[in-house]
Amino acid sequence: MEGPEPGNEATDPRRRRWLAGAGLAALGGLTVALPLAARAEEEKSTDVLAVEDLMREHGVLRRALLVYAQAATRLRARETIPADALHRTAALFRHFGEDYHEHSLEERHVFPAVVATGGEPATICRILATQHERGRQITDYILASSAGKGIGQADMAPLADALDGLVRMYQHHTAIEDTIVFPAWKRTLTPARYSALSETFEALERRMFGHDGFEDAVDQIGRIERAFGLADLAALTAPPPPASPAR
């Protein structure tokens, strides 16, 4: 854009009008650019990358394990439990945990890369894969045992044993993955490859569930917790310890 001929800027009206217009145009461009940059930065900061995605999925599965532990305790006390809610827990563990998280993510993308590097993490991945198979067997059993309207007296102790075994196994399983396997996997990836796989995980989740599978799983486990009386977090606060014994 060409301005008027140089002159006395303080007294030339045309010069003043041109400078004002140029300044507003520049500010207008800046006001457009700043929100766009801010939005891009915000979107970048809220992206869920692959390891975070895997670990928050573990959070859903751990909440399911808490339901299993509560169910096992009540079954051992010969108390009635909501069999339909237990069945929904097992169905969630099957579809979100075993079919998606384990089979489609860990077994296809994470474990092979870690096994290829060798060493202790590779050995751990082989054990974890075996535990996946055992977990699916136990899930089959829980689904079958909770398919009716209630749990029979004769089935209570065996089901409690199966639930306790699964809880014990997966408490260690998920902790080892979070602290050893996922960091080892991330070290095998370049930043570009890690970013691409993060997008792959998100696309796969939407393809398998038709929407945000994590948000749906969180909603499901929340409703299950209410059925088992586990929804009030404050009520689960541990009591204070007893007074220290006199020495």
Task: Give the up-direction half-sphere exposure of residue 112: CA atoms within 13 A in the CB hemisphere.
Answer: 6
Q: Residue 151, Cβ neighbours under 10 Å: how many?
A: 21
pLDDT of residue 245: 81
| pLDDT value of position 36 | 54
Q: In angstroms, rounded to a whole number, what is the distance separating the alpha carbons of residues 177 and 183?
A: 8
18: left (phi over 0), alpha (psi -120 to 50) or beta: alpha
Domain range list for the chain: 49-226
- Residue 227's Cβ-side half-sphere holds a number of Cα atoms within 13 Å equal to 20
- 49-226 belongs to which CATH class? mainly alpha
Split the chain (247 residues) into runs of 10 and give each run's mean pLDDT.
48 48 48 49 63 97 98 97 97 98 98 98 98 98 94 96 98 98 98 96 91 92 97 94 83
At residue 131, what is the residue type? Q
pLDDT of residue 145: 96
Residue 148 to residues 1, 77, 116, 122, 178, Cα–Cα distance (Å): 79, 20, 45, 41, 36
The answer to whether the beta carbons of residues 188 and 121 sit under 8 Å apart is no
The pLDDT value recorded for residue 19 is 44
CA distance 231 to 34: 43
